[in-house]
């Protein structure tokens, strides 16, 4: 009987120790959580992030590097259905002169699908990018039977080329540049605050000296 109690005691103690250890190791090693570091050491293009979204390079950054001549070459994939010269004829698709900055379905008299024509707002760099990734996803039921351009560079280049045909919209600021500018401003503000603080300190010293002299 005594022996049995001792065995039970050891088993219980062992269990408690194991539980304690697993709590501790969980604390230190976070084995129970699938955590990502706040900033990744390096970014691999096209890799899915844990939140499920693709880590896309923003179109503004792609455009900054876009090549209009390369875009004209990409546009060869479109010429079976589209002209892009000013006053060019509609084909299977509408003429695309001056399409960026214009409403969806911008050519009067072209028989657009409701799917496309009913989309509110003007074409801009971002929604044109989304359209060219997959017309079918962007406007389910569209008449544009084109699979899409999978390479971000191709889309950036062809969008830059399209923009140069009549629209000439200014490119959006890449976010990195905005951040750098904001950081610069912050540094200037900090330096100014420091200067002001040291001025106050100097005045205090002077006032103290004046008081001591009296």
Interface ranges with ligand HEC (CB under 6 A): 77-78, 80-82, 92-94, 96, 99, 104-107, 112-113, 115-116, 132, 139, 142-146, 149, 158
Is there a contact between 63 and 125 (Cβ–Cβ < 8 Å)? yes
In this structure, the chain runs to a length of 214
Residue with Cβ nearer ligand HEC (38 or 120): 120
The sign of the CA dihedral 111, 115, 119, 122 is negative
Min dist CB 170 to ligand HEC, Å, is 19
Residue with Cβ nearer ligand HEC (60 or 95): 95
Residue with Cβ nearer ligand HEC (85 or 198): 85
Min dist CB 126 to ligand HEC, Å, is 13
Task: List Cβ neighbours of 137 (8 Å cut-off, separation of 6 or more).
Answer: 130
Min dist CB 28 to ligand HEC, Å, is 53
Beta-sheet strands, E only, within the chain:
none
Is there a contact between 126 and 147 (Cβ–Cβ < 8 Å)? no
The DSSP H or E segment spanning 204 is helix 175-213
Min dist CB 112 to ligand HEC, Å, is 4
Residue with Cβ nearer ligand HEC (57 or 117): 117
């Amino acid at each position: 009987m005594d022996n049995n109690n001792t065995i039970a005691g050891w088993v219980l103690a062992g269990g408690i120790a194991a539980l304690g250890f697993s709590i501790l190791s969980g604390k230190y090693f976070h084995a129970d959580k699938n955590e990502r570091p706040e900033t990744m050491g390096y970014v691999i293009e096209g890799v899915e992030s844990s939140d499920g979204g693709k880590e896309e390079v923003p179109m503004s950054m792609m455009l900054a590097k876009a090549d209009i001549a390369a875009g004209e070459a990409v546009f060869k994939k479109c010429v079976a259905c589209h002209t892009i010269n000013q006053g060019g004829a509609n084909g299977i698709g509408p003429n695309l002169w001056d399409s960026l900055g214009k409403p969806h379905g911008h050519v009067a008299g072209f028989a657009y699908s409701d799917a496309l024509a009913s989309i509110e707002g003007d074409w801009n760099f971002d929604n044109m990018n989304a359209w060219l990734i997959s017309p079918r996803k962007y406007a389910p039921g569209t008449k544009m039977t084109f699979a899409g351009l999978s390479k971000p560079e191709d889309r950036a280049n062809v969008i830059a080329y399209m923009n140069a045909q009549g629209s000439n919209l200014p490119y959006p600021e890449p976010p990195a540049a905005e951040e750098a500018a904001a950081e610069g401003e912050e540094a200037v503000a900090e330096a100014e605050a420091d200067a002001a603080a040291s001025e106050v300190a100097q005045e205090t010293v002077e006032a103290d000296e004046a008081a001591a002299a009296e």
